[in-house]
Amino acid sequence: MIENSWREQLKYSRKTREDLNDFTLTESESAFFKYKGEMDKLPFMVNSYYSSLAENTPDDPIRRQFLPTINEYTVTDTELSDPLGEKQYTPVPRLIHRYRDRVLLLITDSCAMYCRHCFRRSFTGHNDGVVTSDELAAVCSYLSVHGEVNEILLSGGDPLTCSDGKIEEILKNIRSVRPDIAIRLATRIPVVLPMRITENLIGILSENGPVWLVTQFNHKNEISDLTEKKISSLIDKGIPVLNQSVLLKGVNDSVGALEELFQKLVRMRVKPYYLFQGDLASGTSHFRVPIERGREIMSQLRQRISGLALPVYAVDLPGGGGKIPLTENYAIRQDEQNYYFRNIEGRDYTYPREF
Ligand SMILES: *Cc1c(COP(=O)(O)O)cnc(C)c1O
Ligand code: SF4
């Protein structure tokens, strides 16, 4: 594959039913393309790199992430169009200031493909475009008077679908007002379009550091040789890489699938950071796994893999409640003297309250 072919990949993405003639569609997949109900048509787009990772079988974990089904037009009572209630935390256009010391900036509405489980589906694929120089100036002046902000997350959409020039402009402007800030880049590019990670891009990221890259691998089949090579180049140039998976029914909702994924990531020097419970984004109920089951998977994983390989299982509460860890509780009770714990083998231990 040619190093600079990423723009070609995007240009020739599959976007219609006809572009999928090499796939044998299931009834539910075909029905998506034939939908004529009253809801707005949902967008479909996948580049050929990502679709080539899938086997031509309906239950392939990669296919489930790019091939839509009619289920997406089913909106349940508990689902929301702004599942995280972010609108109330937007002091400047595109900037979300939800937690005291960190802000999130929506750089662009474009992605290298549309993930069928995406919780930002009310944002991606619409027409907000890329952050303008004026919008960026407003963000920078906000940052310059909010010294309590230690970290800025660049998100979207996918920030790495922007040109190198735009990315450099964003990083340099942020750096000029806040040389001390940590920049966290949230991107699925290493997974869905690794050829985008060029030498030039790596140079821009490493010159404007500290930049942390947070990506989203959901299954080990998403890790190609090219991906491994690109991740390695990023880390070699001083850009740490973390992973946030989403727990997805039919993709990775088993102990075996997650064990393989997390162990593989550790071998690639990528730290599994979060495993997210599915957000209540409309039309994604067919992907959601009950929290009960998520907890059961996590407790089995804890017995099988190292702490380094184990992410934090968390949920982003609907209505703007924020992220909370869904940790298992090992403290079974406490009294005036002690805490009482039950360990993973089921044996009981105490730890004193005071020394
Ligand atoms: C997830 C998120 C963050 C970052 O949270 P961490 O727990 O530090 O990863 C910051 N701002 C917003 C709005 C978020 O949704
Ligand atoms: S790349 Fe990220 S923002 Fe874009 S569709 Fe996929 S999950 Fe959503």
* The pLDDT value given to residue 241: 98
- The H helix count followed by the E strand count for the chain is 11, 12
Put simply, whether the predicted model's pTM sits higher than 0.75 gets the answer yes
pLDDT tens-place string over residues 48-97: 999 999 998 999 999 999 999 999 999 998 887 777 777 789 999 999 99
Residue 265 CA: distances (Å) to CA of 92, 101, 244: 36, 28, 11
Nearest in space to 327 (alpha carbons), one of 288, 277, 286: 277
Only one residue has tokens 């919008």, namely 135
Contact yes or no for 198/5 (Cβ under 8 A): no
pLDDT of residue 79: 85
Instruction: Mark 201-232 as b/e (b = at least 16 C-beta within 10 Å).
Output: bbebbeebeebbbbbbbbbbbbbbebbbebbe
What pLDDT shows up at residue 46? 96
Ligand approaching nearest to the C-alpha of 242: 1
**Kindly report the CA angle at 149 between 144 and 152, in degrees rounded to 5?**
95
- Tokens 């920049």, residue located: 183
C-alpha to C-alpha distance for 22 and 78, rounded to whole angstroms: 37
Q: Which residue type sits at 313?
A: Y
* C-beta contacts of 124-132 below 8 A and 24+ residues apart: 124/156, 124/157, 125/43, 125/45, 128/94, 130/162, 130/166, 131/94, 131/105, 131/106, 131/107, 131/166, 131/170
Query: Cα(294) to centroid of ligand 1, in Å?
Result: 21
Residue nearest to atom 7 of ligand 1 (CA): 323
Q: Give 306-342 pLDDT, tens digit per residue.
A: 999 999 999 999 888 899 999 878 889 999 999 999 9
Q: Which residues are catalytic?
A: 98-99, 102, 111, 115, 118, 120, 279, 316, 323
Q: Which segments of the chain are extended strands (E)?
A: 95-99, 102-106, 151-155, 182-186, 211-215, 241-246, 271-276, 312-317, 322-325, 331-334, 338-342, 348-352
Q: Closest Cα to atom 8, ligand 1: which residue?
A: 102
Cβ proximity of 289 and 307 under 8 Å: no
96 lines ligand 1 (CB under 6 A): yes
Tokens of 316: 């982003």
Q: Could you say which ligand is closest to the alpha carbon of residue 314? A: 1
Atom of ligand 2 nearest to the CA of 156: 3
CB of 140 closer than 8 Å to CB of 174 = yes
Which residue's CA is minimally distant from atom 3 of ligand 2?
Answer: 157
**Residue 124: what pLDDT?**
52
Does the CB atom of residue 246 touch ligand 2 within 6 A? no
- Peptide bond connecting 325 to the previous residue in cis, omega within 30 degrees of 0: no
Q: In which band, very low, low, confident or very high, does the pLDDT at 227 lie, cut at 50, 70 and 90?
A: very high
Q: How far is the CA of 281 from the centre of ligand 1 (A)?
A: 17
Q: Is the CB of 94 under 6 A from ligand 1?
A: no
Rounded Cα gap, residues 255 and 275, in angstroms: 13
- Helix 255-267 and helix 291-304, axial crossing angle in degrees, nearest 10: 50
pLDDT value at position 182?
A: 98
Q: Residue 121 pLDDT > 70, yes or no?
A: no
Computed over every residue of the chain, the mean pLDDT equals 93
